[in-house]
A and B are shown apart, each in its own frame.
Chain A
Amino acid sequence: MNLVLISLILLLGFSSYYFGRKKATIIQSSQRLTALPKFYGYYLAIWCAAPALIIFSLWSVFEPTIVKNFILADYLDQNLTKNELQLIYTKVKALALGTYTGDINNFLDNSAGKYIQIKNMANNAKIVIVLAALILSLSYAYQSIKKNNRMREPVEIFLKWVLFTASLAAVLVTIGIVFSLLFEAIRFFQSVRIFDFIFGTHWYPAKTFVRDGQPDPELMKDAFGAVPLFAGTFFIAFIAMCVAIPVGLLSGIYLAEYATRKVRKYAKPIIEILAGIPTVVYGFFAALTVGPFVKEIGNSLGLEVSSESALAAGAVMGVMIIPFISSLSDDVISAVPQNLRDGSYAMGATKSETIKKVIFPAALPGIVGSILLAVSRAVGETMIVVMASGLAANLTANPLESTSTITAQIVVILIGDQQFGDPKTQAAFALGISLFVVTLFLNVIALTVVKKYREKYE
């Protein structure tokens, strides 16, 4: 139904393009055109399709809510909760579609009849209104073509609005993220105190599972303490940085200052392959190869090592991050002006002394920025931790034990079926917003630092 309507609108739009163009050639025989003939076509096509499509989509967005309110108006006097009303509405819809299998009572049957009636009415009204809008706007546009008004400007203004709307998409996504996270998180903080969440040291959401009714508030208080997760997140990120910073920075320096053109040409893209490997692949590698390897070494040294250790996950994550640091610091170091180097060489400094005493300090802000970006990357990394570092939230500083992170817990909670309204599900969104805030903070600082640095040498 909807598809037919949309195709009809689009078809009319296309044909009015050709119609408009043809009309322009007819006008051309008597008077001078104000624009190229195709703009007449565009103008007509835009006026034909755009208003109709806008009305159509607005209608489609609002129709379900309005229909629902109409149906549920009959049940308002029964003092039902929101969930019960939702259930009734689902039943009515199923009954109307003929897929309902439960008990049918009169009331439900009436509602289903009403539902079908309203739905039909709405559908017919939609077709009529959309087509009426189409005809109205089309005839308006046809009039202005006939008058040979200016045609190019309105078309271009329309296009510009389309471009502007597209650029709003990024803003919309950000708004969507913030609101969807906030919405669920706020509901979470209605049942769990924000203080308990940020400072509690026990993370054990499975404890709150109850079959009927509300979970015990005392239990809730003790189940959602996120400190072990925050600690685990930064602990694993720290291990990753211990691997990535030395290797990445030294490779970056070597590539920028020592490497011959040829080495640079091949080594840089090869190292960047490390950043292109999907994280789930690293996770598999960490779980299957690095984890047991770490355990074997630890056991041979007489240490107690969990087969899912923070060390294995952190080390593999570090390897993944090497190219971020090496490429960024390579760029930053290459951007340091040559005259600083020349000055240093002229004073008799060796290459390594120049790097350590002149170039590195000059490039430091950029390097710090790249490291911060890498940290934010490590904090947000999910699959390696899920697969290689276990899922139990231990509060520990021992790299040989398993720890969990914010991201891993979000996956643990939300894998499989979720119930919206369950404090566990909401907890995942609360974790999500803390993750978002932390990474946003790191990114903003990093980007400002890098930008300041760039301006200094440009």
Chain B
Amino acid sequence: MNEAKRKLLNKRYRAEANFKLFGQIAIGLALLFLAVFMYKIFSKGYTAFQKTWIVTEVHYDKELMLIETDNPSLEDLENADYYDIANKAMTRLDPSLPEEDDRQLIQMVAFTYEQEVKNHLLKNPSLLGKIVPIRLTASDDLDQVHKGNYPRDIPEEDRRVNDYQLKIYDMLNERGDILSKFNLSFFTNPDSREAELAGIASSFMGTVFSILVCLAFSFPIAVLAAIYLEEFAPKNKFTDFIEVNINNLAAVPSIVFGLLGLGVLLAVFNLPRSTPLVGGITLSLMTLPTIIIAARASLKAVPPSIREAALAMGASNMQTTMHHTVPLSMPGTLSGTIIGLAQALGETAPLILIGMVAFVNTIPGTPVDPAASLPVQIYIWSESAERGFVEKVSACIMVLLGFLILMNLAAQIIRHKFERKWN
């Protein structure tokens, strides 16, 4: 073999190695992005599962609460005045502060502090007249300082927490009067304008209702349609037309379904705006083609011998289908349905169009109450300028991703455990 040929051969081998390397780099890039993405979300979001409290003492002073009777009933306590004692509980932290600067201390806790003082007493009425320790929700700015998400070294006028408040915070922290515990209220509170009080309960219920409505509408229709197309439809132009329709619908951008929901469900049928009912129906139109395609694929996978055997035993076409083919195809159909629902779970744009982006600070109890949904909540919070919402968004994303993983896992398990392999 002469020199030139060897050179050429080496060149070809190098090209081979390079090409393989490019492929590996491409896969590596995709995986790297996924890793960076997950890392960013988790490192930003995990702190949202911790909540910060300030511990102070409150004196349930009957005179300040304007209670006149000796043995006040629960109703009296309900109607008592908590403003003064709640403020006193905060100013107690620094008695040297002149009275006109009270707000500086009060701003360190969430604006619901008066309510919290009240609820504490209503839970234990025997505390009346006593001086007791109480923990109050810290304001989101302080919360962020405590979690180290907020820079302390920038000039005072650029900060939401001033030097005096930082001094008090450091003092409390040294005394161990800053508590940090699991943030249950993130899961039980509805949305709020204040980051320290905002929770996902309302949007979570909105999501649950939308998905249930979506399932109730899309699953039966899709399965029936798939049965017809796969088992009964004659081969003609109209059937082809239906098929082309389904394939195209599967690729229509989700926002177009939002426009459909707005133009038909809201404008023509006058269904209530901003509700999971409308959201669920809109999503179900979107999920319909996905489930039909999955159901057809799993019907197709049932071998003809099953049908032939049933027909040979004298079953009618309908009986063969309903008693044998459909039950055997169910695992595939169900896992396809779950995957379709998982897609619907993450949809945002169509829900925004039908008004599920409204600020909702109550937890919806039925599908016809106004609600948001988890992805829309992510959008709403991420548009908010307040720093405390960044970790809330990340935490909300973690919850959403958790659900998606669970659903996909369920689809996998159904597929592997119950689907029969025909050989």
A interface residues, Cβ below 8 angstroms from B = 152, 156, 159-160, 162-164, 166-171, 173-174, 176-177, 180-181, 183-184, 246-251, 253-255, 258, 267, 270-271, 273-274, 276-281, 283-285, 287-289, 319, 322-323, 326, 350-353, 355-356, 373, 376-377, 379-383, 386-387, 407, 410-411, 414-418, 420, 428-429, 432, 435-436, 439-440, 443-444, 447
Query: How far in angstroms is the closest Cβ of chain A from B348?
Result: 4
**B147 proximal to A (CB < 8 A):** no
Contact of A173 with B263 in the complex, beta carbons under 8 Å: no
Contact of A407 among B24, B255, B383 (CB under 8 A): B255
Q: B260 touching A177 by the CB < 8 A rule?
A: yes
Q: Complex Cα distance A288/B288, Å? A: 34
How many chain B residues touch A (Cβ–Cβ < 8 Å)? 84
27 A-B pairs (CB sep. < 8 Å): A156-B316, A163-B227, A166-B220, A167-B229, A170-B246, A171-B242, A176-B260, A177-B256, A180-B268, A181-B259, A253-B23, A254-B24, A258-B20, A276-B346, A284-B393, A285-B41, A322-B30, A351-B20, A352-B19, A377-B251, A380-B254, A383-B348, A387-B382, A407-B349, A410-B353, A428-B259, A443-B247
A276 and B408 contact, Cβ closer than 8 Å, known pairs A170-B292, A284-B393: yes
Cα(A114)–Cα(B246), bound, Å: 47
Q: Does B31 contact A (CB under 8 A)?
A: yes
- Contact of A250 with B23 in the complex, beta carbons under 8 Å: yes
With contact pairs A163-B227, A254-B24, A352-B19 given, residues A274 and B33 touching in the complex (Cβ less than 8 Å)? yes
A277 and B246 in contact (CB under 8 A), knowing A162-B224, A180-B260, A285-B41? Answer: no
Q: Which residue of A lies closest to B270 (CB)?
A: A64
Residue in contact with B378 in the complex, picked from A152, A159, A284, A443, CB distance below 8 Å: A284
Minimal Cβ-Cβ distance residue in B for A289? B40
Q: Is the contact region of chain B dominated by helix, strand, or loop, or is it mixed?
A: helix
Q: Which of A169, A173, A351 contacts B16 (CB 8 A)?
A: A351
Cβ of A352 and Cβ of B30 under 8 Å apart?
Answer: no
B74 close to A (CB within 8 Å): no
Chain A residues with CB under 8 A of B247: 443, 447
Measured CB to CB, the nearest residue on chain A to B22 is: A250
Question: What chain A residues lie within 8 Å of B58 (beta carbons)?
Answer: none
C-alpha spacing A447/B245, complex, angstroms: 12
Indicate whether B379 reaches chain A with its CB closer than 8 angstroms: yes
B124 interface residue per 8 A CB criterion: no
Whether A180 contacts B263 by the Cβ 8 Å rule is: yes
Which residues of chain B come closer than 8 Å to A444, judged between CB atoms?
248
**A258 vs B19: C-alpha distance in the bound complex, in angstroms?**
10
CA distance A410 to B350 in the complex (A): 11
B248 in complex: contacting residue of A181, A248, A277, A443, CB < 8 Å? A443
Task: Please measure, in the bound complex, the distance between the C-alpha atom of A170 and the C-alpha atom of B296, giving whole angstroms.
Answer: 14
Within 8 A of A (CB), among B218-267: 220-222, 224-225, 227-229, 232-233, 241-242, 245-249, 251-260, 262-264, 267
Distance between Cα atoms of A270 and B352 in the complex (Å) = 30
* Nearest-neighbor residue (CB-CB) of B345 within chain A: A278
Contact call A436/B256, Cβ cutoff below 8 A: yes
